[in-house]
Structure 1
Amino acid sequence: MSHLGQHPGQLGYSHVSQHDSDVPGPQQPLTGKVEEGQDGCSRECHGVGQILCTPMNVLLVFVPLGVYSHFAHWSAAARFSCNFVAIVPLAAILGASTEALASHTGQMIGGLLNATFGNAVEMIVTVNAIKAGLVNVVQGSLLGSILSNMLLVLGMSFFAAGVVHEKESKFSAKGASANMTCLTLGSIALALPTIYNCMENTSTEDVLSISRISSAVIAGVYVLFLIFQLFTHAHLFAAEGEEDEDASISACSSVLLLLLATLAVAVCSEFLVDSIEGVTEEYGLPGAFIGVILLPIVGNAAEHATAVTVAAKGKMDLALGVAVGSSTQIALLVVPFSVIVGWAFDVPMSLDFRIFDTTVMILSVFITHTALQDGCSNWLEGSILIAIYVLIAIICWYIPD
């Protein structure tokens, strides 16, 4: 505060008369700013180059090839293969940009953003399928997305972290518990209309009414969960010992890459889904296996790669935000969204899933909650979650159409 009363000349220029040659000329400050700007631009280009210039991204050539195969009416197998391969590098870009964005926002918000971008693809596919009247496909795909994230992705994340670090990986148990409580609500919301429809003297109209009212309640709870997660109890979801990292690229560049990768995944996923029916006719794949197992794995490939990659790097809270957080969003947001979309298009989309589906959902929530309650993971727990998912896949293969 004592410097405030001094003359400007006394602050920084008292040595001018002794060292005239050191006086900064009119262009020197400008040159310094230009060099600083160039340095920041170079750093930004280098960070973007690290994300885009990888050997795997050679497969990006399949993105335009997959789009062309759709409009050129190639065979179903060719369209399926091109778009499937195209999603692989896009998943890597989505994962890298999410990790870069997480360095600006923190692991919890980074995981939330990634789950949101991933589920945007799911919502687009859901709208298109409901407009086509494919209610069973939508129900199977939504259930499969929840199961694949909650069992397969989480299990692979636990396994990868355990193998790489050869020790238990810790995470926020309280934050995980809040997600699992919401998933319990989602499983109950699916079970109740299904059980009600098995009672005597019930009608389809009553089931639809119950489903639409329940969807509004579930969506409201999801809004409350966001407030709980981001504002009132954000500390429960913060990573223990989380440290700020130097961001490889800026937040704007990270968001731009996320948007572009998500858009490309949405296009390739839609063309991939369009080719599924032709592939199943050629190879005789069961419908339940396609809806519950195949479509969710392909549609959520980006989230799968992201969660496993960041878990292997020791960022288990970010992996949980992607895997379990995505399941929560599907159960409390995408599922009621699909019912409301069906209501808008006058399609009987309800929460009346099959008894097998709701039973699997409840049991999966139970085993996942058991694995998360202690706040640490190891490769054995990951192996068990993967094994449960494989058992479900085997049964789905034998479910008659």
Structure 2
Amino acid sequence: MDSSSYGPLGDGDSPVFTWGSDLAGIQMLFFTKLNITLVFLPLGVMSAFYQWGDLTTFWFNFVALIPLAGLLGNVTEELALHTGDLVGGLLNATFGNAVEMILTVQALRANLLAVVQGTLLGSILSNLLLVLGMSFFAGGLFHHVQKFNAQGATCSTSLLLLASLAFITPTVTSSDHTLPEDILTISRLTALLIALTYCLFLFFQLGTHLSLFKDDTGFDKEWPTISASVATLMLGLITAAVSVASECLVGSIEGVSRNSGIPESFIGVILLPIVGNAAEHATAVTVAIKNKPDLTMGVAVGSSTQIAMFMVPFAVLVGWAMGVPMTLAFSRVSATVLTFSILIVIGVVQDGESNWLEGVMLMVAYCIIAIVFWFDNPSEKFTRGHQAHHGVFVIIGAFRPLTSQ
């Protein structure tokens, strides 16, 4: 956008904001086609308050959270533009996953530990396989081969492999007759180490080795469209709205699973991550088509790294503060799926190039995982075993088996 849109320029050509420029910036952020679905926010809250049914409450708030997540990401980026790279990176790491953070806290309050683990796992897998896969596929259709910064990608995927070790170790230990309190202690200490490593990674990425992560194509300096004070106010208001919608959604999960037959594991791993990743998904595919694969990698792989190295330890440590026994002991299926997904992505990105076939490979991997978690429902493990051959999939983001005859 031209700097004249902000009003008069200050020293160093930095923008000076007025009420008029802030109002114009807010209009740009809110008046989009996607934000029409914000109408579901009051409907979702009313559905929970007037008890219109768990299924209605779940889907109203589910749809409402998608534009809220996009707004939250955009406002966070606006605020980050007012700060330096390091503070901006910290802001994006914190509020860039604010929807997942709030969903995590609400689910911990409801003691839905399996949903917390599933949502975090699903967010990693969604970004790593679905978002990156669709971006590679879309970019490959318009460009024969796309090249990106292999060093930055390798650093991020190596961190993901470290995170998978942090998940596998408590998972294996928990099945080896180790006392639950010891598993909890292992998880909490591991979470502290992983969180510290992520802080060091931010310093590495934004401080000592910034050149490894820079995009060589070069872009014009980007200016914020709203003032820092207005961005901070909007961030608080949108976060509050996300908190209300998340509480309504989480409160309806058990009822939805019980009444509709959708497994909680599928809700956590496949459905809920759609909410937090919708904005990243659209952004990654768009920039891939514009032949900016480094931005695609930053959005998809960078988001996965944030969730694995920041959000998962956050969940364990917040659970610790709340007195909730949140651990890193995931199910064996979850730990195995995550590890192999990371290995597949490492194999795909190690050469620093992408094409449409590699995108198909990643998307197929995600579809396989979705099928696995549809049937991976421990509470109905034996019941679903003999009903599986009667199931059919309705491709609307959630699958529902036919009634057993």
Instruction: Name 1:89's counterpart in structure 2.
Output: 67
**Which ranges of structure 1 fall in alignment gaps of 5 or more residues?**
1-34
Q: Partner of 1:265 in structure 2?
A: 242
Given the superposition, is the C-alpha separation of residues 255 and 194 from structure 1 closer, same or farther in structure 2, using an over 3 Å criterion?
same
How far does residue 221 in structure 1 lie from its aligned partner after superposition?
0.8
The farther-off stretch of 244-253 and 75-84 is 244-253
Identify which of structures 1 and 2 has the higher relative contact order when contacts are C-alpha pairs closer than 8 Å and 6+ apart: 1
- Take 2:144 and 2:237, find their aligned partners in 1: how far apart are those partners? 37
Shift of 1:83: 1.6
| Matching residue within 130, 134, 146 for 2:112 | 134
Q: Which has the larger radius of gyration?
A: 1
Distance 2:92 2:69 in 1: 11
| CA distances 1:160-181 after superposition (whole Å, capped 9, x unpaired) | 3333x33333322211111111
Matched, 1:49 2:27: yes
Which of 37, 40, 44 is the equivalent residue of 1:62?
A: 40
Equivalent residue in structure 1 for 2:207, among 217, 224, 231: 231
TM, length-normalised to structure 2: 0.79
Pick the aligned partner of 1:203 from 147, 165, 179: 179
Check 1:212–1:129 CA distance in 2 against 1; reply closer, same or farther (3 A cut): same
Judging changes above 3 Å, is the alpha-carbon distance between structure 1 residues 332 and 177 closer, same or farther for their aligned structure 2 residues?
A: same
Answer whether contact 1:107 1:317 (CA < 8 A) is retained: no
How far is 1:198 from its partner? Answer: 2.7
- Between the aligned residues of both structures, percent identity stands at 53
Alignment match, 1:9: none
Q: Secondary structure at the match of 2:328?
A: coil
Following superposition of structure 1 onto structure 2, how do residues 214-293 of structure 1 map, counting pairs within 5 Å? 214-245=190-221, 247=223, 249-250=225-226, 252=228, 260-293=237-270
Amino acid at match of 2:209: H
CA distance in 1, matches of 2:293, 2:86: 10
Task: Give secondary structure in 2 for the equivalent of 1:161.
Answer: helix
1:216 Cα deviation after fit: 1.5
Q: CA deviation at 1:359?
A: 0.8
1:185 positional shift: 0.6
1:190 correspondence with 2:167: yes
Gaps of 5+ in 2: 1-6, 10-14, 379-405
- Offset at residue 236 of structure 1 (A): 1.0
Q: 1:167 aligns with which of 135, 144, 149?
A: 144
Contact persistence 2:86–2:207 (CA under 8 A): no
Which deviations, in whole Å up to 9, do the C-alpha atoms of 1:101-152 show, x marking residues without a partner?
Answer: 7877899997875453242222222222223322222222221121111111
2:87 and 2:215 mapped to 1: Cα distance?
A: 11
Cα 1:48/1:316, change in 2 over 3 Å: farther
Aligned position for 1:327? 304
How has the CA–CA distance of structure 1 residues 40 and 116 changed in structure 2, closer, same or farther, with 3 Å as cutoff? closer
1:379 counterpart = 2:356: yes
Against the structure 1 CA distance between its residues 248 and 337, is the aligned structure 2 distance closer, same or farther, given a 3 Å change threshold? closer
Taking the aligned partners of 1:98 and 1:171, their CA distance within structure 2 comes to 25
Q: What is the aligned residue count?
A: 365
Deviates more, 1:255-264 or 1:295-304: 255-264
For residues 204 and 265 of structure 2, what CA distance do their matches in structure 1 show? 36
Please say which of residues 170-179 and 360-369 is displaced more in the overlay. Answer: 170-179
**Cα offsets for 1:332-366 (capped at 9, x unmatched):** 22212222223233332211111111111110111
Distance 2:313 2:197 in 1: 11
TM-score (norm 1): 0.80
Superimposed CA distance per residue, residues 369-393 of structure 1 (whole angstroms, 9 cap, x where no aligned partner): 1222222322222221111011001
